[in-house]
Amino acid sequence: MNASFYLRGLLLGFTIAATVGPMSIVCIQRTFHKGYLYGLVSGMGIATADAIYGSIAAFGLTVITSFLVSEQTWIRLIGGLFLIYLGIRVILTKPAEKAADAQAHNFAGAYASTLLLTLTNPLTILSFAVIFAGLGLGATGGNYLAAVLVVAGVFSGSAAWWCILTGSISLLRKRFTPTWLRWLNRISGAAIATFGIVALISLR
């Protein structure tokens, strides 16, 4: 019985992570530009944020949910502005003649940036709550083991997706010339900035 909670959380985490959005583009661009580990660490930041929101829904922390929703204007404003900044920075990034592997001291920044960016979409918590209810995961009240298994499943599913995505992109990385990488930066940067602009427009 408890195993089913983990498996359903796993499916949920994988499905939500596989949805194309600004974070997917960020991970793809980072993997091409700085290598597999840098992209993977960025993906783990997203998986951690998914697990945090999943835990809020699984444990029924309504106070935190209410706060996130009530303050979503400011949170999304910050997230939108940062996406625009990140998009512009990506557009202006000039790829090296040979894609260099990220240095270890950059990993913390890669992880923290995607973690915080993912957390700036408080509506994600509502998505988790609704889907949890639909999958029968809202019935974990009082069963803390089941709630923990759901959250572990969400993290595992999300992490699995980022491993698959960054691994696949890494296999293609060596085939891209500096010119291709330059255009990739321009296109992905424009897409990331567009997501930020849309987020700001939605606040009106």
Predicted pLDDT of residue 15: 86
Predicted pLDDT of residue 162: 95
Predicted pLDDT of residue 99: 45
Domain count, the chain: 1
Q: Which domain holds residue 170?
A: 2-201
Predicted pLDDT of residue 184: 81
- Our measurement of the distance from residue 79's CA atom to the centroid of its chain's CA atoms, rounded to an integer in Å, reads 13
Q: What is the pTM of this model?
A: 0.79
The one-digit pLDDT tens for each residue of the chain (204 residues) are 567 888 888 988 898 888 778 888 889 888 888 889 999 999 999 999 999 988 888 777 767 767 776 777 888 888 889 889 888 988 887 765 444 444 445 899 999 999 998 888 766 777 777 676 665 555 555 567 878 888 899 999 999 999 999 999 888 877 777 777 788 888 888 988 898 898 888 877
Predicted pLDDT of residue 174: 75
Three-state DSSP string of 132-171: HHHCCHHHHCCCHHHHHHHHHHHHHHHHHHHHHHHHHHHH
Q: Which residue shows structure tokens 């990140």?
A: 86
pLDDT digits over 40-81, tens only? 999 999 999 999 988 888 777 767 767 776 777 888 888 889
Predicted pLDDT of residue 98: 47
Q: Name the CA radius of gyration of the chain, rounded.
A: 18
